[in-house]
């Protein structure tokens, strides 16, 4: 299965104040993603149960070019520049899909 290009990013935040600032930054960034990235198929932010200072992003793009276009957006560049002040750590995992179901694109 070679549909899409996906990754998971795990952010560990410094403290509760940092988490609130990071969540606000994410909300602003999501506005830009929703408005101008039709080939970003999923961009979902999760908080793992019992880990209030962790955010896990699941990102699914139509292909590598869609991911590259996402990275080139002004809202993404702002996110990347501003996120460091809130972080204690970050882990990025690129995924190779081997099986699954993806909703049809409109």
pLDDT in tens, 71-84: 999 999 999 999 99
- Residue 43's pLDDT is what? 97
Q: In three state form, how does the secondary structure of 14-69 look? A: CCHHHHHHHHHHHHHHHHHHHHHCCCEEEEEEECCCCCCCEEEEEEEECCHHHHHH
More confident residue, 71 or 98: 71
């Amino acid at each position: 299965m070679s549909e899409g290009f996906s990754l998971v990013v795990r952010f560990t935040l410094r403290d509760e104040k940092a988490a609130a600032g990071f969540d606000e930054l994410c909300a602003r960034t999501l506005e830009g993603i929703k408005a101008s990235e039709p080939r970003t198929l999923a961009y979902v932010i999760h908080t793992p149960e019992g880990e209030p200072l962790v955010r896990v992003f699941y990102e699914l793009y139509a292909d590598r070019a869609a991911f590259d276009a996402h990275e080139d957006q002004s809202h993404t560049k702002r996110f990347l520049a501003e996120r460091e002040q809130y972080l204690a750590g970050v882990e990025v995992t690129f995924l190779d899909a081997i099986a699954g179901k993806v909703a049809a694109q409109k």
